[in-house]
Amino acid sequence: MHDYKCVIHVHTDNSPDSLASFEDVVLGAAWGKADVVAVTDHDSLALKPKEGWIEAFGHRFLLLVGEEVTTASGGHYLALGIERPVEPGLPAGRVIEEVASQGGAGFIEHPFFKGNPWFRAPAAAWPDWNVAGFTGLSVFNFTSDWGNRITPLGFLLYGAWPGLAVDRPTPKTVKKWDELAGFGRVVGIGTVDAHLYTARLGRWTLEAHPFRYFFHSIRTHILTDQPLSGDLEHDREVFLRALKSGSCFISNDYLGEGEGFLFYAVDETGRVVARMGESVEAPSGVTLVVRCPEIRRAGGVSRGEKGVTLLRVTMIHDGRAELVRTYAVDHGGGGWLMSEKGVTSTPGGRWLMSEKEIKGTPEGVASIQGERSYSNGRFEAVHLAYILNGAPMLTYNVKGTGAYRVEVEMKIHGRLKPWIYSNNIYLTRPDLAE
């Protein structure tokens, strides 16, 4: 499988609310080492002639051009892979049909954006849930999810440390995604909704939020059987096919590079029977497998306190957490620790398993049962823990039909922040499989 990092939903000065030039986009793509960048200006395909492979600043990436279409009810629909602009102001159902008729992929954007009175940002929610035919929705939108909560003080702080602005999706959006997945495949993607705003400070004009940071934040990683070839038509089709099929996942690459994440289903022989976005019959013997990426330095954050990174991996079944595992890695070479009860530290900050430090990476896997750990200075039993070589891998024997997906969180500055959201694997009854 080939993993490509995609920055989706970028606005240029062809949108009335962004000052970003084409050169700003190219510079941001190069700085963020993006593989694919999708520009989607408001109700415009003005940059369509620029579509293609671009090489600049020592980096090469694929630029694709779509449109963020405004519907009659004020909702926004992200249209990718279209050749003709879709007329704004049409009913939502008509907009969806027009995008589909052009062979494009369409995603409902910021469906619960309530606006922000501090910055006079108007609401742009999606009220038209009685429609069908959309590819999916943007589950994690950098600007809108942040914009729902930001205050003037927070804006100043995030202007100094922009990577910390990325927090988490709007809970209603995630809940809606899970609800819709109960009726069939609904693809979740991550988008940046990047705009370039400026502010005056005395004689200086400053970027209100550094534009380049959008390009190394919320990204959609597409997983493809075929590599991108350098041919625009071929590569655009590979990109669209991955999005339409759900062969992709969302990663906050500012926390750590998501490349290497995998989620798939195997049968009793170990044969892969389904990947993200796919359906498979669910007889006994189907096991879901999660492989977390190695933690590599990202845009600004890659390690937790005291040289240790804490991860929490949750298996979601039909919108409910069904399995939770916690992992920690000691960046001094200590290896991975997985515990059913969670990985904890002493008040002094040293990471312990039972009553001894994790020292070195053992050969194979060591199992420890009934030992001690401490949480905030209080005793807590560890029922089952492993020290693992390499990055964490989780397996889960499914217990029923439904939609299964994975969330991975990383502990940063004392808080667990969302890192990765997989797309669903759909386990069906034999008579309902696609």
Q: What is the rounded CA–CA span in Å between residue 328 and residue 187?
A: 30
351 and 231 assigned to the same domain: no
pTM (two decimals): 0.84
Number of domain units in the chain: 2
Q: Could you tell me if 21 and 78 lie in one domain?
A: yes
Q: Which of 203, 231, 252 is the last residue of a domain?
A: 252
Please tell me whether residues 210 and 285 are part of one structural domain.
Answer: no
- What confidence category does residue 287 fall into, taking pLDDT thresholds of 50, 70 and 90? very high
Residue at which a domain ends, from 191, 223, 252: 252
Question: What pLDDT is recorded for position 144?
Answer: 76
Q: Which residues, in sequence order, are CB contacts of 192 under 8 Å at separation 6+?
A: 7, 8, 9, 10, 141, 142, 143, 214, 215, 217, 218, 219
Same domain, 238 and 281: no
* Mean pLDDT within 74-100: 97
Domain annotation covers residue 257: no
- Do 184 and 310 have their domain in common? no
207 and 331 assigned to the same domain: no
We report the CATH number of the domain holding residue 79 as 3.20.20.140
| Residue that is written with structure tokens 């940002």 in the block | 121
Residue 330 pLDDT = 53
Say which residue, 154 or 21, is predicted with more confidence: 21
Query: Is residue 84 one of the residues assigned to a domain?
Result: yes
Tell me, yes or no, whether 209 and 166 share the same domain: yes
Residue 245 forms part of a structural domain: yes
191 lies in a domain? yes
User: Do residue 180 and residue 77 come from a single domain?
Assistant: yes
pLDDT in tens, 376-421: 444 333 333 333 445 667 888 887 899 999 999 988 777 788 999 9
Q: Tell me the per-residue pLDDT of 167-211, one tens digit each, with 9 for 90 and over.
A: 789 999 999 999 999 999 999 999 999 988 776 667 776 666 778
Q: What is the mean pLDDT of residues 344-366?
A: 33
Residue 433 in domain:
no
The verdict on 198 and 325 lying in the same domain is no
Q: What is the domain range of residue 139? A: 2-252
* Domain co-membership, 407 together with 340: yes
Return the percentage of the chain with pLDDT > 90, whole number.
54
Whether residue 187 is found in the same domain as residue 236: yes
| Residue 434 domain-assigned (yes or no) | no
Residue 331 · residue 343 · CB < 8 Å? no
Asked if 81 contacts 240 with a C-beta cutoff of 8 angstroms, the reply is yes
Q: What is the pLDDT of residue 127?
A: 86
- Residue 133's φ and ψ, nearest 5 degrees, are 95, -5
